[in-house]
Amino acid sequence: MNQKEGRSEQHSILPAVSVKNLKKTYLTHKRGEGLLQSLKSFVWREHLEIHALRGINFSIQAGEIIGFIGPNGAGKSTCLKILSGILHPTSGDVTVLGYVPWKSRISYVGHIGAVFGQKSQLWWDLPPIDSFRLMKSIYSIPDAQYEKNLREMVRLLEVPEVIHRPTRSLSLGERMKCEFINAMLHNPAVVFLDEPTIGLDVFAKETIREFILRWNRLRGTTFILTTHDLQDIETLAQRIIVIDHGRIVFDNSLSALKARLGGGKHVRIRCKRPIITPRSRAVTIKNLISREEKEFIVDTQRLGIGEFIKLIGRGNQILDMSIEEPPIQEIIKKVYKRA
């Protein structure tokens, strides 16, 4: 179909996703425990407003991979549900691929895909291939496109036999790979991933990350993912949006985040004799492994790494040294703390 060409044309003009002052307030009510309380709350309910999104703004260009991070309950899933047309927002403007997601749902959702790490779109008692074929008719995917996509994804995700075994007998990793295939056979231009790597082992995670990168590069597919796995962020996200209590507290690249928080380098040094710590306010001891081995944090904005090496080389006889970027957890922790 020429649908794909039409779409990529559109891409070059508009951002793939544009979100303006998006708010979502859930209306729920307090509920008590037990029969009496349930009956009471059935008749008379105390309303409770939960401000899941408090007016957020961002836009995403076609072909970007965006990582949404933030603590539990920050509003990430709510945001993805609105973007994918499942939920109506309380207020605000959203367009994705030129559509307002919650209006004209049926024509819109044909252009997007979604994988939820906690939910399965596959038929439990049947092999994934049966679910794929149903997707083929649900999305009216032409034969050639279906065969080509299936072949390619099965190869990249390394699941040639797996797709013929009943879903219920698959490991979590195998199943997630099949969830990806299921969600992407129809060439979605934008794919939403809500904690797609949750609970997976490192091998499955790596294969899936590799797959996302490949598909993004080859097809120009836009990916928007939420995750608590910072390795996902490091390998995938060209840009991260940190969301906390329904507000965006950061929106830029990971390196910008590191620079902003002045993330010092971690330097680990082993010496022949007990280490004499250089006197500088830019140097702090992170870890005392032994008297002969220490880990320092060097604030590189105040003291260049070359300067530091000179400084420490003066009084010590260095046997071994390693210099590392600060672990991403530490940076994220700082962001969350500031928010």
Partner 1 sequence: MTSAFIVHIEAVKRMIASRLAFRTDLLLSAATMAINESLVVIFTIIIYTASEGFPGWSLPAALLLQGTFILVHGIGGTGFMGVIWNTVRKVEAGELDLVLLQPRSTLQMLIATGFDTEDIGRALAGIATVTYATAQLGPFGAWAWIRYALLLLVGLAVLLSLGIICSGLAIRFVKTWRMYEVLDALYMLGEYPATLQQPTVRIVLSFAIPIITIAYLPASVLLQMTVPHIGWIIAATAVFTLLSYGFWHSSIKAYASAGG
Residues that bind partner 1 (CB under 8 A): 24, 26-27, 31, 34-35, 38-39, 41-42, 52, 78, 81, 84-88, 102, 105-110, 112, 114, 116, 118-119, 121, 123-126, 130-131, 133-134, 137-140, 166
Site string for ligand ADP, 28-57 (x = CB under 6 A): x---------------------x-x-----
222's contact among partner 1, ligand ADP, Mg ion, none, with CB below 5 to 8 A by partner kind, is none
131 vs 316, beta carbon nearer partner 1: 131
What CA–CA distances, in Å, run from 23 to 49, 83, 101, 190?
12, 12, 15, 22
Nearest distance, CB of residue 52 and partner 1, angstroms: 8
Q: Phi and psi of 185, rounded to 5°? A: -65, -25
**Residue 72 contact, options ligand ADP, partner 1, Mg ion, none, Cβ 5-8 Å cut-off depending on partner type:** ligand ADP
Q: Which is nearer to ligand ADP, 50 or 218 (CB)?
A: 50
Instruction: Choose the stretch contacting ligand ADP; rule: CB under 6 A; options: 69-77, 92-100, 209-217, 301-309.
Output: 69-77
Give the CA distances from residue 53 to residues 60, 79, 160, 279, in Å, rounded to whole numbers and listed in that order.
Answer: 18, 8, 41, 47
- Amino acid letter at 311? L
Q: Segment near ligand ADP (CB under 6 A), from 73-81, 90-98, 263-271, 308-316? A: 73-81
| 224 vs 90: CA distance, rounded Å | 22
Within 10 Å of residue 205's Cβ, how many Cβ atoms? 20
Verify binding: residue 70, ligand ADP, rule CB under 6 A.
yes
d(CA 15, CA 51): 27
User: How far, in Å, are 260, 322, 332 from residue 327 at the CA level?
Assistant: 15, 14, 9
The residues, ordered by sequence, that sit 6+ positions from 335 with a Cβ below 8 Å of its Cβ are: 242, 249, 250, 257, 261
Question: Which residues of the chain form contacts with Mg ion (CB under 5 A)?
Answer: 77
Residue ranges binding ligand ADP (CB under 6 A): 26, 28, 50, 52, 70, 72-78
